[in-house]
Amino acid sequence: MTFKAIDLFCGCGGFSLGFLQAGYEIILAIDIDPVVLKTYELNNYGIPILNYDIRYLRAEKILEITGCTPDVIIASPPCEQFSVANRFRKKDPFMRLYDDNTGQLVLHAIRIIGDLQPKVFVMENVIQLIDGELKDALCNEFDRVGFSKIFFNVFHAEDYGTPSKRTRLFISNAKLRLKKTNSSQNLKLSKILEDLPDPDFIQEIPNHELTPLTTRRDKKIQQLRRGSSLVYYRSAKESMNTNWKKIQGNSICPTIIGHSRYVHPIKKRLLTVREHARLMGFPDNFVFYGGISSQYNQIGEAVPVPLSNVIANYLLEKQLQVF
């Protein structure tokens, strides 16, 4: 039996890809950004896409397009209003969820999940989504729409085949008891990137071009030592975060987020879009559309493909077979 899934806030399609690889049928992908939907469409020809603001989306419209109720809903609402990396997030966790237009997208996702009543749903976000009393608040929101038992699953993507660090929360009506699939030794940066050709030369790998830099910034990169960064900024908790960091080739890549830029451990240049994509588990034939900043952002905002695939397979083996 092929299980049918809908992807809310689909982005470029990392979450979807893991489920497609596991044999699911994606019957609808929804996002407000036409650029990311172009990337999604380029890589998933034939899957219906909907360019829509989820705040105004109703279950009736989804059913009109799909013709059936999905077995699974996956969703990855924007995380910036909850993320500790955002120093401008609201101090009160409740205000982030209930008084912020972007934060409220989590509530709209819950509304749609409640209206469609899938067998299983999985919602991805940063772990700060359950700061303070937000966990209880989310339990109440899900209970109100018919899901009385909710699990807050936290995973480190590098434990499940992703060649970069990433800790994320997966809220579901299923307890996800995933088995770790990878040793960190297999995910070293140098090993993941070693067979890619130099972007200076003509080659056929998409999105593997040098990122243009100003002369001033290029000169600073030339002088950068491993482990040091060009950019430092304060997080919401006043700790110091970095960007444009020269990373170590003998370790796993740090977390890739939307504005992340990393300097190659050996070559004095930024990692290309393709190199970022590899570090999030995207295959080399996955093409990213849009300007170069958008391409980097699409990757940094995606759910890592290997982790998505492990979740998808677990649901097939342990959860969906009981329905």
Greater pLDDT, 235 or 126? 126
Q: Tokens 């809220």: give the residue.
A: 171
Domain 185-300 architecture:
Alpha-Beta Complex (3.90)
Query: What per-residue confidence (pLDDT) applies to 160?
Result: 95
CATH class label, 4-181+303-322:
alpha beta
Catalytic residue among 10, 12, 68, 79: 79
Number of continuous H segments (helices) and E segments (strands) in the chain: 11, 10
Q: Is 12 a catalytic residue?
A: no
DSSP state of 240: E
Confidence grade of residue 290 (pLDDT, cut at 50, 70, 90):
very high
159 has pLDDT over 80: yes
Residue 107: strand, helix, or coil: helix
Residue 238 is predicted with a pLDDT of 45
Q: For position 223, what pLDDT does the model report?
A: 59
* Spans of all domains in the chain: 4-181+303-322, 185-300
pTM for this prediction: 0.92
Report phi then psi at 284, rounded to 5.
-70, -15
236 pLDDT band (50/70/90 cuts)?
very low
Per-residue burial over 155-182, b = 16 or more CB atoms within 10 Å of its CB, e = otherwise: bebbbbbbbbbbebbbbbbbebebeeeb
pLDDT of residue 235: 46
pLDDT in tens, 10-37: 999 999 999 999 999 999 999 999 999 9
pLDDT 10s digits, 108-152: 999 999 999 999 999 999 999 999 899 999 999 999 999 999 999
> Does 224 have pLDDT greater than 70?
no
What are 294-322's pLDDT values in tens digits?
A: 999 999 999 999 999 999 999 999 877 65
pLDDT beyond 80 at 247: no
Neighbouring CB atoms inside 10 A of 213's CB total 14
pLDDT above 70: residue 185? no
